Amino acid sequence: MCADGQFEAATKILMALYTDGFATSDLLGTIFRSVNYDDLPEALRLQFMRLIAETHLRMAEGSTSVLQLTGMLGSMCLASGKMGG
52: CATH: 1.20.272.10
pLDDT computed for residue 1 by the predictor = 80
> Does residue 18 carry a pLDDT above 50?
yes
- Higher-pLDDT residue of 17 and 83 is 17
pLDDT computed for residue 65 by the predictor = 85
The pTM (predicted TM-score) of the whole model is 0.87
> Does residue 50 carry a pLDDT above 70?
yes
> Does residue 85 carry a pLDDT above 60?
no
**Average pLDDT rounded to a whole number, residues 5-27:** 93
- Whether residue 85 is contained in a domain is answered as no
Domain tally, the chain:
1
Q: Spell 51-81 as b/e; 16+ CB within 10 A means b.
A: bbeebbeebeeeeeebebbbebbbbbbbbbe
- Whether residue 49 is contained in a domain is answered as yes
Containing structural domain, residue 70 = 2-80
Separation CA 4–CA 10 (nearest Å): 10
pLDDT computed for residue 45 by the predictor = 93
